C-alpha cells in the first residue's frame, strides 16, 4: 500500500514538473506603439507568442473593435520567426491598426492564447486618447479666401500633354492612312467578258451536222463514232427545243416525252429512223449500208429544219414585234 501511494506521488510530481517546464517555454505579450495619442490618430497593437516550434497555438480572434470606442481599422497577416540561437523556439507576431474618436483612457483587456500546456493570457494595455489643444486666447478668424493662381497655356499643356500627344498621334495615323490609300496601286480595270449572242438551237444543230458530214467518219470505217456524234447533236437539239432530258433518256423514253409535242408524222418518222439505226449500230454492232448512213444525216437536217421555232410578225396592234412559235 505504501509502495502504491509513493508511486502515485512521484507520478503527480512528474506531471506538475512537466507542465511547469512547458509553461515556462511559452511566453506572450501585448504592447501599443503609442500608448497616448490625439483623437483620430492611429497606432498599432502588437500581439506575439513564443513557443516550442513543434507545438500548435490558437491566436486570439479579434473582430472590429478592441473595446468600446476603440476601433480596429486593419488586421495584419501573422509573421513567423525563429530564434537564431535556438531554432526550436518559434515566435508568431500579429499587428492591429487601431484608432479612436472619443477622448478618455481605455484598458485593452487580456487576450487568451490556447496552447497544449493550457491557456495563457497577455498583459493588459492602457490607451489614452487626448483632445486637440485649442488656444482660446486668440480671436476667431474668418475662413481665408482662395488664392488666385495664374494658369496659362504652358501650365495647361503640362497637365494635359498625354492627351495632346495621343490626339496628335491619332491625327498623324489618320493622315498616313489617307495618304497610303490614295497612293495605293490601282487595280487594272478588268475587261468585261464579251457576251456572245445566243445562237438558236436549230442553227447550232445544223452547223454541227454539217461539220460532222465534213469529217466523213463512216467513210473511214468509223461508223459507231459517226452515229454516236449524230445522236448527241440531235439529243442536244431536243433538249433546247422541247425542254426534255434527252441525253439521259433511251430512244423509247424520248418518243414518249415527245408524244404530245407539236411534231408532224414525217418528222417523227425521220427522228425514229435516226435513233433506231444508231441503237442497232451501238448495241447490236450492225453495219448499215452507205445509203443508210447518209440517210441518217439527211433525216437529221430535215428534222431540225421542220421543227425549228418559226419567227412570225405580230401585227395585232400594228407593232413590229417578232414572236417565236
Give the CA distances from residue 262 to residues 11, 235, 258, 268, 311, in Å, rounded to whole numbers and listed in that order. Answer: 131, 17, 8, 10, 16
Query: Across residues 142-154, what is the average pLDDT?
Result: 77
Calpha distance 102→99 (Å, rounded): 9
Query: Across residues 96-114, what is the average pLDDT?
Result: 90
Flag whether pLDDT at 241 surpasses 80: yes
Flag whether pLDDT at 222 surpasses 70: yes
Give span(s): CATH 2.60.40.740, the chain.
24-130
Contact by Cβ (8 Å): 83, 91? yes
Percent of the chain exceeding pLDDT 90 equals 25
Q: Containing H/E element for 30?
A: strand 27-32
CA 112 and chain centroid, separation: 55
Determine the pLDDT at residue 313.
44
Query: Across residues 133-137, what is the average pLDDT?
Result: 72
The CATH architecture to which 24-130 belongs is Sandwich (2.60)
Amino acid at each position: 500500500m505504501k509502495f502504491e501511494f509513493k508511486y502515485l506521488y512521484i507520478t503527480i510530481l512528474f506531471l506538475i514538473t512537466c507542465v511547469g517546464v512547458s509553461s515556462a517555454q511559452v511566453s506572450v505579450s501585448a504592447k501599443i506603439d503609442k500608448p497616448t495619442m490625439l483623437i483620430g490618430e492611429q497606432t498599432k497593437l502588437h500581439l506575439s507568442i513564443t513557443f516550442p516550434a513543434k507545438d500548435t497555438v490558437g491566436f486570439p480572434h479579434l473582430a472590429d473593435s478592441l473595446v468600446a470606442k476603440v476601433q480596429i481599422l486593419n488586421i495584419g497577416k501573422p509573421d513567423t520567426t525563429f530564434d537564431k540561437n535556438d531554432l526550436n523556439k518559434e515566435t508568431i507576431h500579429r499587428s492591429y491598426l487601431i484608432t479612436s474618436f472619443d477622448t478618455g483612457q481605455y484598458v485593452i483587456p487580456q487576450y487568451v492564447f490556447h496552447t497544449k500546456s493550457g491557456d495563457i493570457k497577455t498583459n493588459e494595455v492602457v490607451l489614452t486618447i487626448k483632445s486637440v489643444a485649442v488656444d482660446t486666447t486668440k480671436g476667431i478668424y474668418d475662413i481665408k479666401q482662395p488664392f488666385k493662381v495664374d494658369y496659362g497655356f504652358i501650365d495647361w499643356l503640362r497637365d494635359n500633354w498625354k492627351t495632346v500627344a495621343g490626339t496628335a498621334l491619332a491625327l498623324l495615323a489618320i493622315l498616313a492612312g489617307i495618304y497610303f490609300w490614295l497612293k495605293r496601286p490601282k487595280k487594272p480595270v478588268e475587261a468585261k467578258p464579251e457576251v456572245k449572242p445566243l445562237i438558236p438551237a436549230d442553227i447550232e444543230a445544223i452547223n454541227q451536222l454539217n461539220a460532222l458530214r465534213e469529217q466523213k467518219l463512216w467513210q473511214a470505217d468509223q461508223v459507231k463514232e459517226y452515229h454516236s456524234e449524230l445522236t448527241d447533236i440531235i439529243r442536244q437539239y431536243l433538249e433546247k427545243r422541247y425542254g426534255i432530258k434527252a441525253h439521259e433518256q433511251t430512244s423509247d423514253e424520248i418518243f414518249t416525252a415527245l408524244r404530245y409535242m407539236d411534231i408532224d408524222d414525217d418528222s417523227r418518222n425521220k427522228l425514229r429512223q435516226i435513233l433506231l439505226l444508231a441503237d442497232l449500230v451501238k448495241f447490236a454492232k450492225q453495219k448499215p449500208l452507205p445509203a443508210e448512213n447518209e440517210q441518217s444525216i439527211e433525216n437529221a437536217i430535215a428534222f431540225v429544219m421542220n421543227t425549228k421555232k418559226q419567227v412570225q410578225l405580230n401585227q395585232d396592234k400594228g407593232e413590229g414585234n417578232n414572236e417565236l412559235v
